[in-house]
Amino acid sequence: GEDVEQSLFLSVREGDSSVINCTYTDSSSTYLYWYKQEPGAGLQLLTYIFSNMDMKQDQRLTVLLNKKDKHLSLRIADTQTGDSAIYFCAEIHTGTASKLTFGTGTRLQVTL
Amino acid sequence: SAVISQKPSRDICQRGTSLTIQCQVDSQVTMMFWYRQQPGQSLTLIATANQGSEATYESGFVIDKFPISRPNLTFSTLTVSNMSPEDSSIYLCSSTRGTGYNEQFFGPGTRLTVL
């Protein structure tokens, strides 16, 4: 079955860049997503990338995909205290009819 | 994007009782899903809610424990039956407008505590 792994915790200073990493095992992953979950809230879709892309930039967010190594990363530039949350990567692969497989989640703590 | 609401937002229930969670989407969508997020854990898919037919359950989840209805394209319910403390979780519904790739949006979740 699919396996999506993330590091559990990341702490950065306000204003620095954050890089959250994700590895996956299923080579047929077609779409990869990043979601944000703030305390007590649901999931907010941040961005996504197709598997035929290497990079996608959206304002402060940059997604890098290394398909050979099955490695996905999310870079947040100029990290703010409002970015403190849990970040989940998720993937859909061919033939699963939109079913998302989520990573274990990374808790980002932004300090002053 | 789709706006998804869930009711109730949270509940505290007694062991052995059942709770029905409602999910309403503000526009017609093709796919609706129910996920469970156990404390401190990631999300696990419970089932795909199919309009007008029985839901499709993932391994480890059964209809008797988690009956699901989807009477139309914008509404679904999940019932957590005969609850035990192990069912304490956040239950989230999500929707997407098509199969394959589509942005998948989530409701705010229902936080369930079973005593």
Give pLDDT, residue B102: 66
The pLDDT-based confidence of B2 (bands split at 50, 70, 90) is confident
**Considering only CB atoms, which chain B residues are within 8 Å of A99?**
33, 45, 48, 58
* B18 Ramachandran zone, left/alpha/beta (phi>0; psi -120 to 50): beta
Give pLDDT, residue A47: 92
Q: Which of A14, A25, A33, A96 is nearest to B105 (CA)?
A: A33
pLDDT at B1 over 80: no
Nearest-5° angle of CA A14, CA A19, CA A24? 150
**B21 or B96: which leads in pLDDT:** B21
Identify residue B115 by its one-letter amino acid code: L
Mean pLDDT confidence for A74-87: 96
**Considering only CB atoms, which chain A residues are within 8 Å of B110?**
none
Mean pLDDT confidence for A62-85: 95
Q: Which of A43, A46, A56, A102 to mutate to test the interface with B (most CBs of B within 10 A)?
A: A43
Considering only alpha carbons, which residue of chain B is nearest residue A100? B45
List pLDDT tens digits, range B13-72: 999 999 999 999 998 877 899 999 999 889 999 999 988 889 999 999 999 999 999 999
Mean pLDDT confidence for B64-81: 96
By 3-state DSSP, what share of chain B in percent is helix, strand and coil, each rounded to 5?
5, 50, 50
DSSP code, position B46: E
Count contacts between A and B (CB, < 8 Å).
60
The pLDDT-based confidence of A100 (bands split at 50, 70, 90) is confident
What is d(CA A12, CA B3) in angstroms, rounded to the nearest whole number? 32
Q: Which of residues 45-104 of A touch B (CB under 8 A)?
A: 45, 48, 50, 88, 92, 97-104
Give pLDDT, residue A37: 94
Contact B8, B21 (CB under 8 A): yes
The 10 Å Cβ neighbour count of residue A72 is 27
Q: Which of residues 37-56 of A touch B (CB under 8 A)?
A: 40-45, 48, 50
Cross-chain Cβ contact B42/A43 below 8 Å: no
What is d(CA B44, CA B55) in angstroms, rounded to the nearest whole number? 16
